[in-house]
Amino acid sequence: MNANNEAERQSYDEYAAVETALKPYIDGPYTGDGEAQRGVWMDHARIVGSLDGQFMALTVDEFIAAVKEQGPAPNVNHRIVAIGIAGSAATARIEFIDWHGLRFTDFFVLIKQDGVWKISSKVFDSHSRN
């Protein structure tokens, strides 16, 4: 394998690793199991955003409790809109439709620490109802 192919393979692998790191978060709305996503968050992580026009700032524990309280949303759909990686830092944008009647756009900042991608922060907006 030449150097270009190796670099492309490493780049592809990193994108796949970020997607894998986000999977427990993505699965949360479907299952309503907020606790299952605890491992994807860094200890210091914060979640901030707008829900129906109201500003919110949550700890990971508060966010997990909210996911559990809402319960499963089996009709929710999602798509990963973008992933950007620079060394050990990454960003991701995910859109959810019909998470209990809401549409969300989530922006993530991730960091790779000890070979593992984790979410450092999330900013979101519930910009419309379905």
> What angle is formed at CA 105 by the lines to CA 101 and CA 109, rounded to 5 degrees?
140
The per-residue pLDDT for range 92-109, each reduced to its tens digit, is 999 999 988 899 999 999
Q: How far apart are CA 80 and CA 62, in angstroms?
A: 24
Whether the predicted pLDDT of 69 surpasses 80: yes
Domains and CATH numbers, the chain: 3-129 (3.10.450.50)
State the pLDDT at residue 7. 63
State the pLDDT at residue 128. 72
Please, where are the H alpha helices in 32-75? 60-70
User: What average pLDDT is seen over the chain?
Assistant: 92
State the pLDDT at residue 52. 84
What is the percentage of the chain residues whose pLDDT exceeds 90?
80
Instruction: Say how many C-beta atoms besides its own lie within 10 A of residue 82's C-beta.
Output: 9
